[in-house]
Amino acid sequence: MNPSMPARPKKRVALHPASATAGRNVINIASGKGGVGKTWMAITLAHSLARQDEKVLLFDADFGLANIDVQLGLNAEQDLGDVVARKVAMSQVVTKFAEGGFDIIVGMSGSGQLADMGRERLSELKSELWQLAQRYDRVVIDLGAGLESAVRSLTPKGGMTLVVATDEPTSLTDAYAYIKVSMQENPSADMRLVINMATDQRQGERTYGALAKACRTFLNYTPPLMGIVRRDDHIPDAIRRQTAFLSRHPQSNAAQDVHALATTIRKQSTKFSGKPA
Ligand SMILES: Nc1ncnc2c1ncn2[C@@H]1O[C@H](COP(=O)(O)OP(=O)(O)O)[C@@H](O)[C@H]1O
Ligand SMILES: [Mg+2]
């Protein structure tokens, strides 16, 4: 360091986003409603991207019902709760998930909601996350269900949000509401759809069509379809056994569908490094 240059005060650095491109490598997995397969999708997408040679961080931001560790049977020594309590830095709670070839930051289940945290603390945590994100090709975030702005505020400007919906009426209305409030807050938000638990491709397309039509009509925005994942009984099996789905059922329908989703994402986005995907 040039001794004539005054050192930048540490606190200021931490309170500002790392750079103009920070967050571009972030994929948020969101839904209006719980129980649509968001956590499973976040894990399996991270796993699939890692298999396609990306360096991936999976971040559990579902502070109310964090359960990435539960689905994978992980026993992390430290989690996000220790970061929030200011015991350690975020980079110190990264757990290596060797089997999947990607890194995980385990959430802090039952420790209250993101909304309880206070704006300033949340903003500090976001800065820490975006700085850490620069070490990765991709960061996949399992956002909590719900419409509160605190949940959505983890979404960086340049990142992409995959809204997961199923053909259940409540999932459709909640996905629509999620897109609506997100667009009101940030009209340039990059919102895309993934249909989960589809009986088959055609039914998934119909579900997408209904949701896209509502968005087009009332929001003047048509979120693109990124993928359809079929209903697959191998998923509850893998979750029950607390094993990574792609390791246990690599040839299953849902595994193929998530690989296709990962490929689509890679084709349609530029990696943070600026290299074509
Ligand atoms: N494509 C699918 N086919 C069958 N079951 C699924 C599928 N996706 C998710 N599930 C089941 O849905 C349940 C909820 O999944 P989870 O990932 O916890 O959802 P969320 O995070 O949205 O609450 C799990 O029991 C899982 O087995
Ligand atoms: Mg979940």
Query: What is the DSSP code string of 185-221?
Result: H-TT-EEEEEEEEESSHHHHHHHHHHHHHHHHHHHS-
Taking the CA of residue 43 as reference, the ligand 1 atom at the shortest distance is 17
pLDDT of amino acid 16: 35
Write down the architecture of domain 21-268 according to CATH: 3-Layer(aba) Sandwich (3.40)
Please tell me if the CB atom of residue 33 comes closer than 6 angstroms to any atom of ligand 1.
no
Please tell me if the CB atom of residue 44 comes closer than 6 angstroms to any atom of ligand 1.
no
As a whole number of angstroms, the distance between CA 145 and CA 196 comes to 15
How far does residue 68's CA lie from ligand 2's centre (Å)? 8
Please tell me if the CB atom of residue 166 comes closer than 6 angstroms to any atom of ligand 1.
no
pLDDT of amino acid 126: 87
Pocket test for ligand 1, best of 142, 197, 235, 246 (most atoms within 8 A of CB): 235
pLDDT of amino acid 33: 86
196 contacts 165 by C-beta, under 8 angstroms: yes
How far does residue 70's CA lie from ligand 2's centre (Å)? 10
User: End-to-end CA distance of the chain, in Å?
Assistant: 34
pLDDT of amino acid 11: 35
How far does residue 145's CA lie from ligand 2's centre (Å)? 7
Q: How large is the angle between the packed helices 201-219 and 169-185, nearest 10 degrees?
A: 40
Protein residue with its CA nearest to atom 27 in ligand 1? 236
pLDDT of amino acid 63: 74
Tokens (6 digits) for 224? 């693109």
Please tell me if the CB atom of residue 236 comes closer than 6 angstroms to any atom of ligand 1.
yes
pLDDT of amino acid 277: 39
pLDDT of amino acid 111: 56
93 contacts 51 by C-beta, under 8 angstroms: no
Percentages helix, strand, coil for the chain (3-state, rounded to 5) are 45, 15, 40
CA distances from 133 to 80, 119, 207 (A): 15, 21, 33
pTM: 0.89
Taking the CA of residue 36 as reference, the ligand 1 atom at the shortest distance is 22
195 contacts 204 by C-beta, under 8 angstroms: yes
What single-letter DSSP state applies at residue 270?
B
Tokens (6 digits) for 55? 């360096």
- Which of the ligands is closest to the CA of residue 37? 1
pLDDT of amino acid 8: 41
pLDDT of amino acid 169: 96
Digit-by-digit pLDDT tens for the chain (277 residues) are: 444 444 443 333 333 344 446 678 999 999 988 899 999 999 999 999 999 999 999 999 887 777 899 999 998 888 888 888 888 999 999 999 999 999 999 987 665 555 567 778 888 888 899 999 999 999 999 987 776 665 566 667 778 999 999 999 999 999 999 999 999 888 888 999 999 999 999 999 999 999 999 999 999 999 999 999 999 999 999 999 999 999 999 999 999 999 999 999 999 875 444 444 3
60 contacts 106 by C-beta, under 8 angstroms: yes
- Which of the ligands is closest to the CA of residue 144? 2
Please tell me if the CB atom of residue 206 comes closer than 6 angstroms to any atom of ligand 1.
no
Pocket test for ligand 1, best of 28, 36, 40 (most atoms within 8 A of CB): 40
